[in-house]
Structure 1
Amino acid sequence: MTILRWVLEAILILMFLMAGFGKVAGSKMHREGFEHWRLPQWFRVVTGLVELIGAALLIIGFWHKDFVIAGALVLGVTAIGGIITHLRVKDSFKDMSMILLLGIISFVLLFITI
């Protein structure tokens, strides 16, 4: 189970580091996304910081298992917010599939760590 936990952690760390840095840096894709979802740009920065904090908690979790629980929970709840955002603007399943997958991975990680 430990190897599975490490693999899931690594996937989430990489994905949320990329997404978090992109949001905080204000990449064109993320700016346009938040306009499409009718969300303010300051919320993009906040979301990016939350994603980076969640990824940092997972990184610490390689040494301290309790941090995995906190990081997976933060990222799982963030993913729920992303899914709700996609549903609110009636995005296609294709547009929502990545955050849905990351949310599932976050909650699987949470439950195998507890």
Structure 2
Amino acid sequence: MAETSRNPGRIGGIALWVLQGVLAVVFVMAAVPKFLGDPTMVATFEAVGVGQWLRYVTGALEIAGAIGLLVPRLTGPAALGLIAVMIGATVTNLLTAPPIAVVTVVLGALLGLVAWRRW
């Protein structure tokens, strides 16, 4: 019987690390415009009516989560924390830019996979 993979555990582990790295980059890239006061980010948080302080808190949580995704002991909790951020982002996007909500749902699902495999 032919074997398609000699070590699926190792390949799966590598794929999970790659996913974690990609997610970390995505969340850093999402946080930077929040800190720099990108007009789109300012308008989004203004439209929700929560004030600009939440923009900074969200950016800080995204940076902390991105770092946590790359630290083995923190990966599971970081993924869960970022899922909470994505739930908030999905609600916000449904109110302000519905098509973008698909992106936050997909990110949340990928974070769920990471949390499940790393916890």
Q: Contact 2:20–2:69 (CA<8 Å) still a contact in 1?
A: yes
Aligned to 1:99: 104
Q: The residue matched to 1:40 in structure 2 has which SS? A: coil
Q: Aligned partners of 1:83 and 1:13: how far apart in 2?
A: 19
In structure 1, the gaps of 5 or more residues are: none
Are 1:53 and 2:64 matched, yes or no?
A: yes
Q: Percent identity?
A: 29
The letter for the 1-side match of 2:79 is A
Q: Deviations over 1:81-108 (max 9, x none)?
A: 1112233x2642x121111111111111
- Provide the TM-score with structure 2 as the length reference: 0.82
The letter for the 2-side match of 1:56 is I
Q: Tell which has more relative contact order, 1 or 2 (C-alpha 8 A, sep 6+).
A: 1
Q: Deviations over 1:13-51 (max 9, x none)?
A: 111001111112211121111122222111101110011
The letter for the 2-side match of 1:69 is G
- Provide the TM-score with structure 1 as the length reference: 0.85
User: Segments of 4+ in structure 1 off by > 4 A?
Assistant: none
In structure 2, the gaps of 5 or more residues are: 1-11
Q: Aligned partners of 1:13 and 1:66: how far apart in 2?
A: 15
Aligned to 2:115: 110
Aligned to 2:88: 81
Q: Aligned partners of 2:110 and 2:50: how far apart in 1?
A: 25
